[in-house]
Amino acid sequence: MLNNYLQECLYFTANRLSRVMTKMAEDEFAVSGLSPTSAFLLMAVYEKDGISQKELGELLHLQPSTMTRLIEKLIIKGLLTSRIDGRLSLISATEKGKALEGTIHECWMSLRKRYTTLLGEKEGDELSLHLFTVSDRLENKE
């Protein structure tokens, strides 16, 4: 009976999956010396040098204060720089930051391989896309 509650509650199942995936991702990204989220943040900066902090937050679906803290750490590590433009904070990768691009990409591929091996490639990708659209539906309507 309680098991039903747990399996049927999207709060619980989503959080559990999140914990499992986080552990797996931290494991795969460990060789880069970065948390998975920081790694993705860097990827976003590779794609668009000088991207604003706000836009980064929207991409990653993280709160402004969280962005401040994440970026702060990466600046301290010497991987990012920021310059202020009006009320925007524009973020770029340093040389040291750019040097990590290959490693990060490899980590991301290992991670993907690891879970698609367990779930099947098709199912893994479909699930991920599904979760993306579900989050949208849950968030964008009030």
Partner DNA sequence: AATAATTGCTTGTACATACAAATATAAATG
Partner DNA sequence: CATTTATATTTGTATGTACAAGCAATTATT
Residues of this chain that bind DNA (CB under 7 A)? 15, 19, 23, 35, 37-38, 52-54, 57, 61-73, 82, 84, 86-89
Residues 108 and 111: their CA atoms lie apart, in Å, by 5
Give least dist CB 16 to a copy of itself, A.
5
Angle, vertex CA 125, rays to CA 119 and CA 133, nearest 5: 125
Residues 18 and 14: their CA atoms lie apart, in Å, by 6
Helix (H), strand (E) at residue 80:
strand 80-85
Residue with Cβ nearer DNA (17 or 120):
17
The residues of the shown chain that bind a copy of itself, judged by CB under 8 A, are 1-3, 5-22, 24-25, 36-37, 40, 43-44, 47-48, 59-61, 108, 111-112, 115, 118-119, 124-125, 127-132, 134-135, 137-139, 141
